[in-house]
Amino acid sequence: MSRMSVLRGVAGLVVLGCLVLAGCSSKGARAPVEDRGTMSSSKPLASVKSANAAPDSPAKASVAPVVEPTPAAKPLPGAENAGKPGYYTVKPGDTLIRVGLDHGQSFRDIARWSGLDNPNRIEVGQVLRVEPPVGALAEPEAKPVVLSSANPVALAPVQAASADKRAPANAAPVATPAAAPAAAPSTANAASADDEIAWIWPVNGELLAGFDELKNKGLDIGGKAGTPILASADGRVVYAGAGLRGYGNLIILKHNNTYLTAYAHNQALLVKEDQTVRKGQKIAEMGNSDSDRVKLHFEVRRQGKPVDPAKYLPAR
């Protein structure tokens, strides 16, 4: 072997040894880093990050908050009577005056029967008693009429819950039967007695509009402002005011347990609530309150339901 060949062989061995050493040095530097990353904790890397996350991190925000239970809504007054006979559930737009008119009752009676502290405040869904409790009087004791220049005659009280039945002037006297124990009249007899009312027209004037169950719940009668408006029958004033939209200055008379009459659009009201009035008494003056012209809107309500007044009033 030549000297040159020997030198080349030695040089190759030296280079091979350097390469082996370099490779070993490189592996030794990386291994400890990998060992520390995987063995410094018994938890996986993902778990370590979650445990060290900031308080507002998504991992903590995903916990559902504690929600306090919503308290149950308080039942409305009278709710236990909803749907029962003699009760009414208040609807949107109702007023106590409207409820009274629609059920043939004084709004004050309904407020008393229903235990209302404030008659001006009723709630949708509230249940009102619209018929008197068993044994209760439907009407309080009537008060005497307050006299004015327009009403100079003193008036006697009307008997509550009964029609005024007078014998004709030329009728023979009727013998008074011997006293007997009072008996409660049957419903049919009471209704029959209540129907015996001698009505009169509340005002003389042109008939502007007749009764229409859907469009006009009474008669519209024309005239001049200030024309006297008369009570169509004996009764008690259960409302006098302007609290019912569309009626203006309004008077409602209760004649018995069956009938109410309403007198609307007046320019002046001459009677007050709880006063008793006689048939033909001046109770108001014609006007155009809440109306497009001077007129009287006159209604007859039988047990709260509008009926055609022309069927009750005498022909003219």
* pLDDT confidence band for 268 (50 / 70 / 90): very high
CB atoms within 10 A of CB 233: 24
Residue 157 predicted with pLDDT over 80: no
* pLDDT confidence band for 65 (50 / 70 / 90): low
* pLDDT confidence band for 134 (50 / 70 / 90): confident
- Any domain includes 262: yes
The CATH number covering residue 265 comes to: 2.70.70.10
* pLDDT confidence band for 46 (50 / 70 / 90): very low
Q: CA 295 to CA 222: how far, in whole Å? A: 4
Given this model, what pLDDT does residue 118 score? 87
Query: Is residue 204 domain-shared with residue 302, that is, in the same domain?
Result: yes
Given this model, what pLDDT does residue 160 score? 30
Least confident of 19-23, 147-151, 190-194, 249-253: 147-151
Domain end among 129, 144, 164: 129
Mean pLDDT of 85-110: 94
Of residues 8 and 314, more confidently modeled: 314
Per-residue pLDDT tens over the stretch 181-239: 444 444 555 555 667 899 999 999 999 999 998 899 999 999 999 999 999 999 999 99
- Any domain includes 72: no
Given this model, what pLDDT does residue 9 score? 62
Q: CA 265 to CA 28: how far, in whole Å? A: 109
143-157 burial by CB neighbour count: b if 16+ within 10 A, else e?
eebeeeeebeeeeee
* pLDDT confidence band for 19 (50 / 70 / 90): low
CA–CA distance from 20 to each of 10, 173, 254 (Å)? 16, 150, 122
Query: Which amino acid is residue 221, in one-letter code?
Result: I
Of residues 179 and 205, more confidently modeled: 205
Query: Is residue 210 domain-shared with residue 295, that is, in the same domain?
Result: yes
Domain end among 88, 110, 129: 129
Of residues 312 and 186, more confidently modeled: 312
Mean pLDDT of 157-168: 34
- Any domain includes 55: no
Query: Is residue 211 domain-shared with residue 122, that is, in the same domain?
Result: no
Range of the structural domain that residue 241 is part of: 198-311
- Any domain includes 42: no
- Any domain includes 20: no
Residues 6+ apart with CB under 8 A from 308: 210, 211, 300
Provide the domain count of the chain.
2
Task: Give the pairing type, strands 235-241 and 207-209.
Answer: unpaired
Task: Give the pairing type, strands 282-286 and 87-89.
Answer: unpaired
**Average pLDDT score over the chain:** 75
8 Å CB contact between 116 and 75: no
Given this model, what pLDDT does residue 66 score? 66
* Percent of the chain residues past pLDDT 90, beyond the cut: 52
Residues 6+ apart with CB under 8 A from 186: none
Given this model, what pLDDT does residue 191 score? 53
